[in-house]
A and B are shown apart, each in its own frame.
Chain A
Amino acid sequence: METRELICINCPLGCSLTVTMENGAVKKVEGNTCKKGEAYGTKEVTNPTRIVTSSVRVTGGTLPVVSVKTASDIPKGKIYDCAKALKTVAVNAPVHIGDVVLKNVCGTGVDMIATKNIPAVSK
């Protein structure tokens, strides 16, 4: 039996979780106050994932950058690769919320999507 103490990051409550494991398998999650907490506790000790938020360059927009996020969570170990991949991306204005700025980021099967509208500069 092995236990790990975690803080749930699903919401700002930040519940203190205790995850009990045996031979790498999760036996129980305690301290959570909702179902998401249980899922987080299980995932965090087996396959931790994160939503990654960042920004990419925009050409011809009212702002020089647009904010982006992974459409769903990706493995925690891919965060740096993801950030690096975004450095090479530039999109043309206008950009709309939900536009895909990079498909299948770092082979995760997850798209990077815009989270802000950037209108084109009127010439």
Chain B
Amino acid sequence: MQYDLIIIGGGPAGLAAAVSAKKEGVENILILERDRELGGILNQCIHNGFGLHTFKEELTGPEYAWRFIQQVEELQIPYKLHTMVLDIRDGENGKTVMAMNREDGLMMLTARAVILAMGCRERPRGALNIPGYRPAGIYTAGTAQRLVNMEGYMPGREVVILGSGDIGLIMARRMTLEGAKVKVVAELMPFSGGLQRNIVQCLDDFDIPLKLSHTVIDIQGKERVTGITLAEVDENRKPIPGTEEFYACDTLLLSCGLIPENELSGKIGVELSRITSGPVVNESLETNVPGVFACGNVLHVHDLVDYVSEEAARAGACAAAYIRGEKEKEDTKEIPVFAVDGVRYTVPQTIRPACMEDTLTLRFRVGAVYRDCYVSVYLGDRRIWHKKKRKLAPGEMEQVVLKKSDLTDRESFDKITVKVEEA
């Protein structure tokens, strides 16, 4: 089967990309989704707080997803559920996507452009080097979230949570409301990786203690978790002897980071960033493989689905422009964006000023907590952006907005730099 555009993933990114591409005139689109329904991770995120930017109201995850699913249905964009993509290849006749499901068997689909929208995965215990036994009762927070909110299972009664990312905080509240006792949330770093609002409404509201600079140093129990030992860590994140504390519990939830899921991206030769673990993209969210675009959590992990939708809509529009043959600007200068002095990364990582729209939102994260400082952007040596921030934290994504006129009207420069500057 031949398509103009294949979108891999039917979560928030894939849905918004599909809607946008269709509105931009792409007729022949296919969304491939491995789960039993569209909506991706939003289906298990039953808490509210989604959509304040996009819809100017506060929705739960499933409601937010439904807004986009309805648009996909109204625009009659085809999708295949229960469908796993196994491989993507680049060739003279476009991209070949190998996928399979029970009805169609193995399919070789071709497309002129592909949008990667596979989302991310949680870091599992195996990647955390926690000593101790391997009993039942250890779950990633997102797995527990799916079990409780969609499958109707309660993973345990007495819970310790390691990691204070947003999913961990949300699950502390969720397990509590379902009758479990959440004894403590431990965070290795001296600051939480989650949003402040979640610390207030998920921990403080329920008197759940948050222990910063603490980690799990032992898991007890052979068949089932019977308890864990926490210890405080020093500035090098090494446990401090004598600070050990035992917590009896039957469940340990892990909320220790999300990793973009890019196994497929590598197969078609997409270059990945070592910092974001997502593709390196230009201002059009296009990877180094022409015609392959990326958006959402597969590109870099977001805190807000609203920004995912916005980014994905742009990927959809840029893919549409590529399909129309508008992006053949080979001699266009491509300028690298450098993230330095506290800024860990930026997306996009390169910018072709000639291909920019009037404005471009550059998103980034910082590597530590900063107070009363400035975020600055330089074109070569000239500063074009300098904004005061009361607080910057690794858990909160930041953005700067670049104007095309700033990048094209002035004398030439060969690099763009984003940095944190002290007041």
Complex contact B58–A51 (CB within 8 A): yes
> Is A4 interfacial (CB-CB < 8 Å)?
no
Q: For chain A residues 95-121, which have a beta carbon within 8 Å of chain B?
A: 97, 115-117
Q: A45 CB to closest chain B CB, in angstroms?
A: 13
A79 and B205 within 8 A (CB): yes
Shortest CB-to-CB span from A59 to chain B, Å, is 11
Q: How distant is A8 from chain B, measured CB to nearest CB, in Å?
A: 7
Q: Confirm or deny: A91 has a beta carbon within 8 angstroms of a beta carbon on chain B.
A: no
A14 touches B150 (CB 8 A): no
- A12/B396 contact (C-beta < 8 A), A67-B60, A76-B205 known: yes
Q: Which of B195, B197, B201 has the most CB of A within 10 A?
A: B197
Chain A proximity mask over B53-97: 1 for CB below 8 Å, otherwise 0:
000001111110010000000000000000000000000000000
Closest chain A residue to B306, Cβ basis: A12
Distance of A86 from chain B, by nearest CB (Å): 9
A11-B52, A115-B60 known; A64 and B151 CB under 8 Å?
yes
Question: Within the assembled complex, what's the spacing in Å between the Cα atoms of A10 and B52?
Answer: 9
Q: Is B66 a contact partner of A97 (Cβ separation < 8 A)?
A: yes
Taking a contact as CB atoms under 8 Å apart, the answer to whether B63 and A7 are in contact is no
Verify if B46 is at the interface (C-beta below 8 Å from A).
Answer: yes
Which of A6, A80, A116 counts the most B-chain CB atoms under 10 A from its CB? A116
Alpha-carbon distance A83/B337, docked complex (angstroms) = 49
B148 at the binding interface (Cβ < 8 Å): yes
Say yes or no: B62 contacts A8, CB within 8 Å: no
Is A57 an interface residue, CB under 8 A from the partner? yes
**Residue pair A7, B197 in contact (C-beta under 8 Å):** yes
Give the distance in Å from the alpha carbon of A9 to the alpha carbon of B58 in the complex: 12
Q: Does any Cβ of B come within 8 Å of A25's Cβ?
A: no
Question: Which of A54, A65, A67 has the most chain B CB atoms inside 10 A of its CB?
Answer: A67
Q: Determine whether A78 belongs to the interface, using a CB cutoff of 8 Å to chain B.
A: no
User: How far in angstroms is the closest Cβ of chain B from A34?
Assistant: 11
Distance between A104 CB and nearest chain B CB, rounded to angstroms: 19
Q: Which residues of B contact A62 (CB under 8 A)?
A: 36
Known pairs A12-B49, A115-B60; A64 contacts B152 (CB<8 A): yes
Residue A32 lies at the interface, judged by CB distance under 8 Å to chain B: no
A14 and B66 contacting across the interface, CB-CB below 8 Å: no
Complex Cα distance A14/B197, Å? 6
Using A12-B49, A50-B205, A64-B151 as known contacts, say yes or no to A83 and B177 having CB atoms under 8 A apart. yes
User: Other than the known A11-B49, A64-B152, A67-B149, what 15 A-B pairs have Cβ atoms closer than 8 Å?
Assistant: A8-B197, A9-B197, A12-B304, A14-B197, A53-B48, A57-B152, A63-B152, A67-B61, A69-B46, A69-B60, A80-B177, A115-B46, A115-B62, A116-B46, A117-B62
A-side residues, CB < 8 A to B, are 6-12, 14, 16, 50-55, 57, 62-65, 67-69, 76, 79-80, 83, 87, 97, 115-117
4 smallest CB-CB distances across A and B, nearest first, come from A14-B196, A67-B46, A116-B62, A64-B152
